Amino acid sequence: MNTRKLGPLEVSELGFGCMNLATNYGPPVPIDDAIQVIRTAYRNGVTFFDTAEVYGPYTSETIVGGALQPFRNEVKIATKFGFDLTDTGGLNSRPDHIKRAVDGCLKRLRTDRIDLFYQHRVDPNVPIEDVAGAVKELIEEGKVLSFGLSEASPTTIRKAHAIQPVAALQTEYSLMNRDPEENGLLNTCEELGIGFVPWGPIGMGYLTQKLDAQTKFDPKSDLRSGFDRFQPRSIAANKPFVDRITALAKKKNATTAQLSLAWLLAQKPFIVPIPGTGKVRHLQENIASSKLVLTPEDMKEIAGALSEFKVQGGRMNEQQMKIVQQ
């Protein structure tokens, strides 16, 4: 697989998102299956794996650490801090908390360094300069190699970058949600030489052709049950949009998911999507998208098709959007 740069980090152009191995999009994946899919990803050229302490909590990091231990030096691992995982809850990016969190992450990941350490959500109670300074100290200690931000605004990115260079910015970006094209995030990353890591690159499963208005999401295990975009009315309203993307994919002998990933890869050379799955067959489908070349004419045709539709339903629920910087 080709490689791309996230700041100083060289990674496979497609990464692997490890969140839903443990939580959030349905029940946890059986441990043996989770390990198998991670190791199959590595054998197929994926060298960038994304997790976070809050996934589980802790479960995803533990799975990733065990699965990648045999070839730790051949891969890059990203994890995230910033949630208070005690009974207090909420956000916590105080420097002392970050420095305690990193030791737990290192232990669960069975490693002596974290390649990319993201602030998971911006903490309004802690100046971003203090957060960047704390991570800078961890980099000086060798526990962390590079600094990332998730769901941060262009202003916050610039403030952090002035203290400690930001290697990567993570946010939702896909054919279903193109906000980064309008809110300055893509332009800011391009200007500052920051990598861009889209989560939800297949629309949180929307662009897999597996959803319809009858699809049920278990509120006990699937966050999407509370997202407006995943309500039956929105799924029905968005069907013509998904059908159009599917038709364009068929013209390229590709699946809807493959076209979605190839479209992201064609947007900018510093974009590294992180699709996640618990199934090897879906992993192999996703990886094949790296071989799908979209011409300028293809991109123009996709842009024309997108302009005919407006996606119904917001990104996440109201509570989660409160901690996303706009």
Question: Two tokens at 12?
Answer: 């496979």
Cβ–Cβ contacts within 10 Å for residue 86, how many?
Answer: 8
Using CA atoms of 175, 272, 188, 205 in order, give the dihedral in degrees to the nearest 10: 30
Beta carbons of 233 and 297 less than 8 angstroms apart: no
42, 55, 118, 206: the catalytic one is: 55
Location of structure tokens 């100290």: 137
Residues 6+ apart with CB under 8 A from 274: 14, 15, 16, 17, 48, 50, 197, 198, 199, 201
**Cα separation of 10 and 325, whole Å?**
27
What is the C-alpha separation between 12 and 260, in angstroms, rounded? 17
Specify the pairing of strand 48-50 against strand 76-81. Answer: parallel
Tokens (6 digits) for 217 = 């999401």
Amino acid sitting at position 122: V
**Closest alpha carbon to 9 in 68, 81, 69, 76:** 76
**C-alpha count within 13 angstroms, C-beta hemisphere, residue 9:** 34
Query: Does the active-site annotation cover 55?
Result: yes
Element housing 287 (H / E): helix 280-288
Residue with tokens 């993307």: 245
258 vs 51: CA distance, rounded Å? 22
Q: Which residues form the catalytic set? A: 55
